[in-house]
Amino acid sequence: MSHQTPAPGALDAPGGPVGALGNPPERILMLPGPSNLHPRVRQALGAPLVGHKDPYFLELMERVTAQLRCLFQTVYSATFALPATGGSGMDAALINLLEPGDAVVVGVCGFFGERMVDIAQRVGARATVVQSPWGQPLDPEDIRRALERSEAKVVAVVHGETSTGVCQPLEEIAHAARAQGALLVVDAVASLGGVSLPCDALGVDVCFSGSQKCLSAPPGLAPITLSPAAMARILGRRQRVPSFYFDLTLHARYWSTEHIYHHTAPVLNVYALHQALCLIEEEGLEARFARHRLHARAATAGLEALGLHLLPEPAHRLASVLAVLVPEGVAEAPVRDVLATEFQLDISGGLGAYAGRLWRIGIMGHSAQRRNVALLLNGLEVALRRQGYHPRPGAALEAAEAVYAGAG
Amino acid sequence: MSHQTPAPGALDAPGGPVGALGNPPERILMLPGPSNLHPRVRQALGAPLVGHKDPYFLELMERVTAQLRCLFQTVYSATFALPATGGSGMDAALINLLEPGDAVVVGVCGFFGERMVDIAQRVGARATVVQSPWGQPLDPEDIRRALERSEAKVVAVVHGETSTGVCQPLEEIAHAARAQGALLVVDAVASLGGVSLPCDALGVDVCFSGSQKCLSAPPGLAPITLSPAAMARILGRRQRVPSFYFDLTLHARYWSTEHIYHHTAPVLNVYALHQALCLIEEEGLEARFARHRLHARAATAGLEALGLHLLPEPAHRLASVLAVLVPEGVAEAPVRDVLATEFQLDISGGLGAYAGRLWRIGIMGHSAQRRNVALLLNGLEVALRRQGYHPRPGAALEAAEAVYAGAG
């Protein structure tokens, strides 16, 4: 690690000042986050900065918390945006709910499930891991048995596993959690706002996400919601939360109508999130979910017409992230390079065990558009042909168009 | 706390959608943070969003880390911006350096010193508190004795105590820390970029700040630097850091030239920070410190001409935050209200024990301008007169002008 060797710092640099880097390129983001920003969201970032105690900002917080309740489909008021990027919700949820020695059941069927185990162990909890192979969802029966045996009062699963493109059904897991009196924690970083997740109806106790995925706000905020039972567990801890910044009881007070000061909010990020949530409100949640499904189906039809296969079975595919297996004889990274350099379109590679074996394509928020799907399929066809892989010309676009025509 | 009572959520709201809040007002921010943004920083936020693994963004990270080394006056490469607001640096520093049972000496002479004690206790460290009255700096001799008695290997102090306007001299404390083989942790949230703080020359091991104060970038990032000794202590921990998001070894790897993925960076905030650091580079650190001193002296001369008194003695005043005692018979909040509503200029009240007894005025970054100082003094004179407090008309502006003339 470079920090071990104190490198000659910029202070000593003979070249003098570091200097400004030129402007960033304009990319089409079909990554599993971040997604492209709507012009209104970009515009919101340019509005005048106010202080974090300004009456305008306090009113904005109240709008945003109400909007987030709609998004999470919850009536609970401990619903707000943590002042840190997507990954922070997982940390905050587990650090607050778990104490040293506590039992927790963690479902692992991909990279982010593994991270939950890591965090649970960091705080000294006893994690019982329930696994399924990458690309398959968890078996709720396994969760039920693990809860019974471990007597854990918390179970944590990933709703949209962005590393595998799997959408985890939650009904039966929620049922198992309720039966054991355990709180259900759901990572919805890759799904919230793109895939239906009615927290109250399902019985989700803690759900967290990121601003930069299906919400299409800039990265920098982590929406989160807690049920009264989850908050009661935190208030009843034996030891205090080992972090001031992530103490969720303090965030709940800051976002309540009392607005008790806790931190300097990332004010401009909240402006942008508010606009992104206004756009969601205008579109309507159901219409938005349908849009994500439509573009995911069209893209999938095109990918299959190219002869490609998705990792998960059709029944468990996440609309917001398509995990596409790299075919035999094709090199993964050069295909992305063609898309990136010749089409200014970004997709992602695989994580962990699937590095080099998957492409991961985001169908998220403002990026989920017909013209982007068309360009993606066109670019993939060109890139695959470079590697001697010959799909039937135009088949991918034709298959996608058939989906759009059917939906028309 | 409102989260205890599940309020009727927006889903049930008879009024339907929450709807957009209108545009924020344009404020002159003479708060102790955030400060106003330079137009170039605002513009940077509007640049196209790229992914956090985009080659452009990786190159930007390398520029920013080099720029931050200049700012912290360090050659150490473990220098980066945490993806969370100002307060997160304190949490991250103490959570990483301290384990349950560790001894730590914490200097407390204001609100933020108290928060350091709180965090140390949250992680289970044994904190020895060295106090001085609010408005006075710590006595280095007290620190030396506490280190000797407690055998603590970490000592934490606040450089610019924004709650009291005190600038803590660090030379002797650093000397005491070195003599005991203890690491020196410095909170520079309110001072970095406005007041000189040569980390390497002083022997500061961990220093953290916020983007939204003297740097005049938007809130949302916490610049931090660690010495090799500090990083070695973290790498040598008995237990893992009880947070994944704030594990500083992972941030150091992400910001190193290896760029090992840790989190989705708040990309646009980093664009803005880069522009803010470019502006600092163009101005020059010494010139910038001199500018902060000049406007602080002019504002102070004006305040004193109004018959007001600053809380700290002249020798220990922080240039970036002026803590002004509310005179007998004057109500604190109404004065701020006049400034806010009639001059669109924001200053802050007191914290903790000094709530209602202090005004706190930020002289920070892009807000530290002659025209802002003039408007502040004019507004204060008007506001004070409303309460039957009668300074000699024009005396404040005259006194400030004399300072500017002398500097001319």
A212 touches chain B (CB under 8 A): yes
Beta carbons of B27 and A47 less than 8 Å apart: no
Residue B201: CB atoms within 10 Å: 12
Q: A337: closest CA among A388, A380, A369, A373?
A: A380
Q: How far apart are CA A136 and CA A113, in angstroms?
A: 13
B69 vs A10, A267, A278: nearest CB: A10
Write down the pLDDT at residue A17. 78
* Cross-chain residue pair A9–B85, CB shorter than 8 Å: no
B100: number of Cβ within 10 Å: 15
Max CA separation in chain A (angstroms): 67
- pLDDT of res. B12: 41
Burial B62-82 (b: 16+ CB within 10 A, else e): ebbbbbbbbbbbbbbbbbbbb
The pLDDT of B130-146, averaged and rounded, is: 97
- Residue pairs spanning A and B at CB distance below 8 A: 346
pLDDT of residue B292: 98
Q: How many CB atoms lie within 10 A of CB B311?
A: 22
Place of tokens 């019982």: A128
What are the CA-CA distances from residue B9 to residues A89, A283, B13 (Å)?
A: 22, 20, 7
* Dist CA A266 CA B222 (whole Å): 11
At the top level of CATH, which class does the domain B285-407 belong to? alpha beta
pLDDT digits (tens, 9 = 90+) for A269-305: 999 999 999 999 999 999 999 999 999 999 999 999 9
Q: How far is CA B282 from CA A9, A19, A206, B234, B277, in A?
A: 18, 9, 47, 35, 9
The structure tokens listed for A262 are 């806790």
Distance from CA of B15 to the nearest CA of A (A): 12
Q: In this model, does residue A13 exceed pLDDT 50? A: no
The answer to whether A250 contacts chain B (CB < 8 Å) is no
Could you give the percent of chain B with pLDDT greater than 90?
94
Share of chain A above pLDDT 70, in %: 96
Give the orientation angle of helix A370-386 with respect to helix A332-343, to 10 degrees: 130
d(CA B332, CA B346): 13
Is-contact A159 A168, C-beta < 8 A? yes
Is B374 an interface residue toward A (CB < 8 Å)? no
Q: What is the mean pLDDT of chain B?
A: 95
Contact by Cβ (8 Å): A130, A105: yes
pLDDT exceeds cutoff 50 at A99? yes
Q: Residue B254: its pLDDT value, please?
A: 97
Interface-testing mutation among B26, B30, B35, B49, with chain A (most A C-beta atoms within 10 A): B49
A230 touching chain B per CB within 8 A:
no
Give the pLDDT band (50/70/90) at residue B3. Answer: very low
Fold classified for B39-281: Aspartate Aminotransferase; domain 2 (3.40.640)
How confident is the model over B132-141, as a mean pLDDT?
97
pLDDT tens for A30-86 read: 999 999 999 999 999 999 999 999 999 999 999 999 999 999 999 999 999 999 998
Residue B17 pLDDT grade (very low, low, confident, very high; cuts 50, 70, 90): confident
Q: Give yes or no for a contact between B364 and B358, defined as CB atoms under 8 angstroms apart.
A: no
Neighbours of A240 (CB within 10 A): 16
Q: Inform me whether the C-beta atom of residue A245 falls under 8 Å from chain B C-beta atoms.
A: yes
Which chain A residues have a beta carbon less than 8 Å from that of B25?
48, 50, 54, 56
Q: Is A328 touching B (CB cutoff 8 A)?
A: no
Is any Cβ of chain B less than 8 angstroms from the Cβ of A236? Answer: no
Chain A residues lying within 8 Å of B92, measured CB to CB: 245
Q: How far is CA A204 from CA A158, A186, A364, A404, in A?
A: 12, 7, 23, 34
Q: What is the pLDDT of residues B76-121, one digit of tens each?
A: 999 999 999 989 999 999 999 999 999 999 999 999 999 999 999 9
Residue among B27, B119, B218 minimizing CB distance to A266: B218
- For B285-303, write each residue's pLDDT tens digit: 999 999 999 999 999 999 9
Sequence spans of domains, chain B? 39-281, 285-407
Tokens of B265: 């960076």
Task: Give mean pLDDT, residues A338-355.
Answer: 96
The SS3 of residue B131 is strand
- Which chain B residue has the Cα nearest residue A100? B242
Residue B14 or residue B173, greater confidence: B173
Structure tokens at B226: 């660690």
Rounded to an integer, the average pLDDT of B324-339 is 97
Closest CA to A131 of A161, A106, A108: A108
- Tens of pLDDT, residues B364-399: 999 999 999 999 999 999 999 999 999 999 999 999
Average pLDDT over residues A237-266: 96
Which residues of chain A does B348 touch, with a Cβ-Cβ cutoff of 8 Å?
51, 53
> How close does chain B come to A273, measured CA to CA in Å?
11
Put simply, whether A59 touches B (Cβ < 8 Å) is: yes
Separation CA B114–CA B187 (nearest Å): 12
Q: What would the mean pLDDT of B342-371 be, rounded to a whole number?
A: 97
| A45/B contact by beta carbon, under 8 A | yes
- Cα-Cα-Cα-Cα torsion B70, B71, B77, B80, nearest 10 degrees, comes to -140
DSSP string, B371-396: HHHHHHHHHHHHHHHHTT--PPTTHH
Closest residue in A to B74 (Cα–Cα): A9
Mean pLDDT of chain A: 95
* The predicted structure's pLDDT at residue A407: 65
Report the residue from A50, A59, A86 with minimal CB separation from B27: A50
- For residue B194, the 8-state DSSP code is T
Residue pLDDT, tens place only, A306-334: 999 999 999 999 999 999 999 999 999 99
- Tell me how many degrees the CA angle B28-B34-B37 measures, rounded to the nearest 5: 65
What H or E segment, with its residue span, contains residue A147? helix A140-150
Task: Give the predicted TM-score (pTM) of the model.
Answer: 0.96
Residue among A200, A184, A172, A165 nearest A309 (CA): A165
- Cα dihedral sign for A204, B83, A266, B346? positive
Q: Which two tokens stand for residue B335?
A: 């004065």
pLDDT for A6 equals 37
Question: Does A6 contact chain B (CB < 8 Å)?
Answer: yes
What is the band of A133 on the pLDDT scale with cuts at 50, 70, 90? very high
Contacts of A299 (CB under 8 A, 6+ apart): A322, A361, A363, A373, A376, A377, A400
pLDDT confidence of residue B48: 97
**Sheet of A309-310, strand order:** A309-310, A321-325, A358-362, A348-349
> What does DSSP say about strands A321-325 and A309-310: parallel, antiparallel, or unpaired?
antiparallel
Tens-place pLDDT, residues A385-408: 999 999 999 999 999 999 999 964
Check A263 against B86: CB less than 8 A apart. yes
For residue A1, the model assigns a pLDDT of 36
Q: For position A16, what pLDDT does the model report?
A: 62
Cα(B211)–Cα(B38) distance, integer angstroms: 13
- Equal fold, A39-281 vs A285-407: no
Judging contacts by C-beta atoms under 8 Å, the chain B residues touching residue A56 are 21, 24-25
